[in-house]
Chains A and B, each alone.
Chain A
Amino acid sequence: MIGYLARRLIGAVVVLLALSAIVYGLFYAAPSNPALLACGKGCTPDRLAVVKSSLGLDKPLVDQYLSFLHGIFFGHDYSSGPSVRKCPAPCLGYSFETDQPVTSILSSALPVSASLALGAMALSLLLGIGSGLVTVLSRRRWLDHALNAVVLAGYATPVFLVALVLLIIFCSDLQWLPFPTYVPLTQNPAEWARNLLLPWTALALIQAAAYARMTRAQTLETLGEDHVRTARAYGLSERRVIGRHVLRGALTPLVTMAAIDLAQVMTSAVLTETMFGLPGIGQTLVGAVGSTDLPVIVGVTVTAGTIYILANAFADILYAAIDPRVELA
């Protein structure tokens, strides 16, 4: 287990290094002239030269990348003329647009994305697994067909449409819920949930479709396995057969799927975030790309990569905990 984690960690570091190098190279080497962007409008040639040297943009690209890495682990000092600006580790630089540290931008966006993703995933797993099981176990044809239709509709509906409909009904017409604004969990848990309820529902309605389909298929497959016949042949009640001998096997593959989905919702739910005005990771990235805010782009990409890697490792560990045949080695 420890050996597994160590190997996993090394792998993660390699992936992140490669990822940051590619993103860094792509954006800084492209003809975007970062110094001019950092300098802002109405920049004089003198001022441009100062910015260039203070950001280290006059050095070769490889040196720039290395000093970027150095900043992550040991911090970075930006000297512009006589004044020195200290950026403590982990330093991802400063936004060209707002001049805020990238790390503080991330630390305000991450809780928003995490709140959105965790709630939406919990709700969609509940909905998806529940309805998937109902379709299989009720053995009512019409219910199966009806749910299949709903699932298909869920697949096909874009999230912004669902979001818009929800907003119109619940915030505008019925006025049961406020137009969402993000309230930190630590500040007021009830308001946090009340404001996030609609975004969670919008995402869950769509994600749940996939889980319902998968639950249905996996349960049907497990029901046909020999050991289920054994359980029946030994007089176990149908409830016991399903509860103890079918569900665990049937739902195991969902673990991997859900973990990857969690990472995806956390990092790229731009549409949902935009529709509900949530300042999460996705919105931050899209905003940064729009204004070619290079430090923010690189920072967000590396963070998103980290989230994916963590989610994957988590899925593997969970899988090994559920299935005794899987060994982490």
Chain B
Amino acid sequence: MSSPSAVLEVRGLGIDFPVRGGEVVGAVKDLSFSVRAGAALGIVGQSGSGKSATALALLGLHRGTPARVSGQVWVDGVDVVAASDAEVRALRASRIAMVFQDPLTALDPFHTIGDQIAEVYRVHTKASRAEARARAIEVLEQVRIADAARRYRAHPHEFSGGMRQRALIAMALACRPKVLVADEPTTALDVTVQAQILDLLDEVRAETGMALVLISHDLGVVAGTADEVVVMHEGVAVERGTAEKVLLDPQDPYTQGLLAAMPRLDSPLPERDAAASEPETLVRIEDVTKHYRRGGALSGRRTEPVPAVDGVSLELRAGETLGVVGESGSGKTTLARMLVRLLEPSAGRVVFAGTDISALGERRLRPLRRDLQMVFQDPLSSLNPRRSVGEIIADPLRIAGESSDAQIRAAVRELMTKVGLDPKSYDRFPHEFSGGMRQRVGIARALAPRPRLLVCDEPVASLDVSTQAVILELLRDVQREYGLTVVFVAHDLAVVRQIADRVAVMRFGRIVELADSGTLFSAPQHEYTRTLLDAVPVVDPVAAREKRERRRSAAAIA
């Protein structure tokens, strides 16, 4: 793969982390790749694959940490591993620049966006203040930030997540580097913003001729942008080749498994039992609204209430799975919490099995609580770290009035077996489990009181794709077995398509489209639904590029 014109060449890279007791853990083992000027390399792997450690090593950012790096990393003729600190510092930004995962925290909140970019430019070019300012405005324009001269003076908190990521890319472009490393640059962003940022990276690569290293857990993210792909697993490159070859005709079993697990918009839908004719309605929500007031009562400012959910009406049929999709701020989580009365609606009614629970007192609500259960997004923070998983699952049983210890233990063991946990781990604690296992605990806890409605809020968003697939399968199984009605809230349309019978698309607190899963994904009616679907990354590199062209022409018309 080595070629004379490579601007980045990695040979035999190894990264070890010393752990307690004098042992070392190998995060990356004997990794080699090279990238030519103007080319794009995708590095794909799940959490723990060593891809982020690799990204940091490309800029020598392991310096000053306990990590031990071996091998060679040649950036434009300099070996980052062997060079002096001063040499590496001079290399950063001017020849290799990096864009980070979380744009909300990657910029200094105390300085203006423009000053931060200008500072980087001045450090590396010895330019005057005025020249640096001009360059900063120029790169801000290059990343399509409108009114760049005025936005130069904005602080990071005045920018949205997508704009902050653009600003960071502008900072990366400032010194015209030869290589741009983007480590999960879109993971924290909404799907439509993700598409914009990926399009932007593709465009600036074409404009500037720099090489791009795009690192992601999402095969779809690299598909449309990378020419070549390296798949990493436990620190080792298990497969490499052109994007077409790796993504369409993978040879390694690990890559094949990863591709199979990835939820796609074009995969065959799992078979569902045909719904009984005219199923009864379990939940009916009528014109439900939830307002939030900005600023506390003590701040004294009279504020306009902000509607998080704005007049939503909906019927949930017994036994169905309703998917609720939307981007951040669309009100999907607020709606979910009102369904189980974790939040009280500001207006409107939530009728569960004939009872209006929207304003019911806590005492009268309590008998209904066991019917309304919820599974949360973050399986770690939603489990009490000081209680064993068995006790966590047993809690709802005790609350429901079960008092015999033997019976509770037996019931918990049964539940644990059902969700795929070893009943022997009753006395272990949440931190001893992986993310997927913790989410199983969360599901077991929700199932314990034998609910009728299960609301899942982004239950798989923090999990790797292979774990996602298993958890979705589990949810399908328990739904069938318990005859549950499920509301599945997610930002990922492909995931929702896997599990939902009907899908509601939310935007600005309203439902813009509600249709059967099949109809919604094959023939979306609402403009916004189409935009969302167009933004979803696909693994076929050719189709991904076509999609990008479609977005571009749509943007050109608009």
Q: Is A226 a contact of B106 with CB atoms below 8 Å?
A: yes
Q: Is B89 a contact of A237 with CB atoms below 8 Å?
A: yes
- A86 at the B interface (CB under 8 A): no
Q: Is B61 a contact of A232 with CB atoms below 8 Å?
A: yes
**Stretch from B69-77, B118-126, B309-317, B396-404 forming part of the interface with A:** B118-126
Residues of A214-246 contacting chain B, CB below 8 A? 225-227, 229-237, 240, 244-245
A203→B102 CA distance, assembly (Å)? 44
Q: Is A235 a contact of B106 with CB atoms below 8 Å?
A: no
- A7 at the B interface (CB under 8 A): yes
A225→B106 CA distance, assembly (Å)? 8
Nearest-neighbour CB distance to chain B for A72, whole angstroms, equals: 26
Q: Is B123 a contact of A236 with CB atoms below 8 Å?
A: yes
- A249 at the B interface (CB under 8 A): yes
Nearest-neighbour CB distance to chain B for A189, whole angstroms, equals: 36
| Chain B residues with CB under 8 A of A234 | 92-93, 97, 120, 123, 171
Chain B 81-115, CB within 8 Å of chain A: the 1/0 string?
A: 00000000111111001101010011111110000
Q: Is A229 a contact of B110 with CB atoms below 8 Å?
A: no
- A323 at the B interface (CB under 8 A): yes
| Chain A residues with CB under 8 A of B109 | 227, 249, 323-325
- B511 at the A interface (CB under 8 A): no
Q: Is B123 a contact of A240 with CB atoms below 8 Å?
A: yes
A225→B108 CA distance, assembly (Å)? 9
- B155 at the A interface (CB under 8 A): yes
- B41 at the A interface (CB under 8 A): no
A263→B295 CA distance, assembly (Å)? 29
| Chain A residues with CB under 8 A of B123 | 234-237, 240
| Chain B residues with CB under 8 A of A230 | 100, 106-108, 168
Nearest-neighbour CB distance to chain A for B409, whole angstroms, equals: 42
Residues of A231-283 contacting chain B, CB below 8 A? 231-237, 240, 244-245, 248-249
State how many residues of chain A have any CB contact under 8 Å with chain B. Answer: 23
Out of B59, B102, B295, which one reaches A233, CB within 8 Å?
B59
Out of A226, A232, A235, A324, which one reaches B110, CB within 8 Å?
A324
Nearest-neighbour CB distance to chain B for A144, whole angstroms, equals: 17
Q: Is A225 a contact of B111 with CB atoms below 8 Å?
A: no
- A329 at the B interface (CB under 8 A): yes
Nearest-neighbour CB distance to chain B for A4, whole angstroms, equals: 9
Nearest-neighbour CB distance to chain B for A312, whole angstroms, equals: 14
Q: Is B94 a contact of A235 with CB atoms below 8 Å?
A: yes
Nearest-neighbour CB distance to chain A for B55, whole angstroms, equals: 10
A235→B89 CA distance, assembly (Å)? 4
A225→B168 CA distance, assembly (Å)? 16
In this complex, what residue of B is CB-closest to A7? B300
| Chain B residues with CB under 8 A of A231 | 108
A107→B92 CA distance, assembly (Å)? 60
Q: Is B105 a contact of A225 with CB atoms below 8 Å?
A: yes
Residues of B100-159 contacting chain A, CB below 8 A? 100, 102, 105-111, 119-120, 123-124, 155, 157
| Chain B residues with CB under 8 A of A232 | 61, 92
A325→B90 CA distance, assembly (Å)? 32
- B299 at the A interface (CB under 8 A): yes
Nearest-neighbour CB distance to chain B for A59, whole angstroms, equals: 37
Q: Is A235 a contact of B301 with CB atoms below 8 Å?
A: no
A118→B108 CA distance, assembly (Å)? 32
Q: Is B61 a contact of A226 with CB atoms below 8 Å?
A: no
| Chain A residues with CB under 8 A of B89 | 235-237
| Chain B residues with CB under 8 A of A229 | 61, 100, 106
Residues of A294-310 contacting chain B, CB below 8 A? none
Nearest-neighbour CB distance to chain A for B67, whole angstroms, equals: 14
Chain A 144-165, CB within 8 Å of chain B: the 1/0 string?
A: 0000000000000000000000
In this complex, what residue of A is CB-closest to B107? A227
Out of B59, B94, B110, B157, which one reaches A249, CB within 8 Å?
B110
Out of A236, A325, A329, which one reaches B120, CB within 8 Å?
A236
In this complex, what residue of A is CB-closest to B171? A234
A322→B109 CA distance, assembly (Å)? 11
Q: Is A235 a contact of B105 with CB atoms below 8 Å?
A: no
Residues of B165-181 contacting chain A, CB below 8 A? 168, 171
Q: Is B91 a contact of A323 with CB atoms below 8 Å?
A: no
In this complex, what residue of A is CB-closest to B172? A234
Q: Is A244 a contact of B119 with CB atoms below 8 Å?
A: yes
Nearest 5 pairs of A and B residues by beta carbon: A235-B92, A226-B105, A234-B93, A227-B108, A324-B155
Known: A233-B92, A240-B119. 10 other contacts (CB 8 A): A230-B106, A230-B168, A231-B108, A234-B92, A234-B120, A235-B89, A235-B93, A244-B108, A249-B110, A329-B295
Can you list 21 A-B pairs, Cβ within 8 angstroms, ordered by A?
A: A225-B105, A226-B102, A226-B105, A229-B61, A229-B100, A230-B100, A233-B59, A233-B93, A234-B123, A234-B171, A235-B89, A235-B92, A235-B124, A236-B119, A236-B120, A237-B123, A240-B119, A244-B111, A245-B110, A322-B110, A325-B109
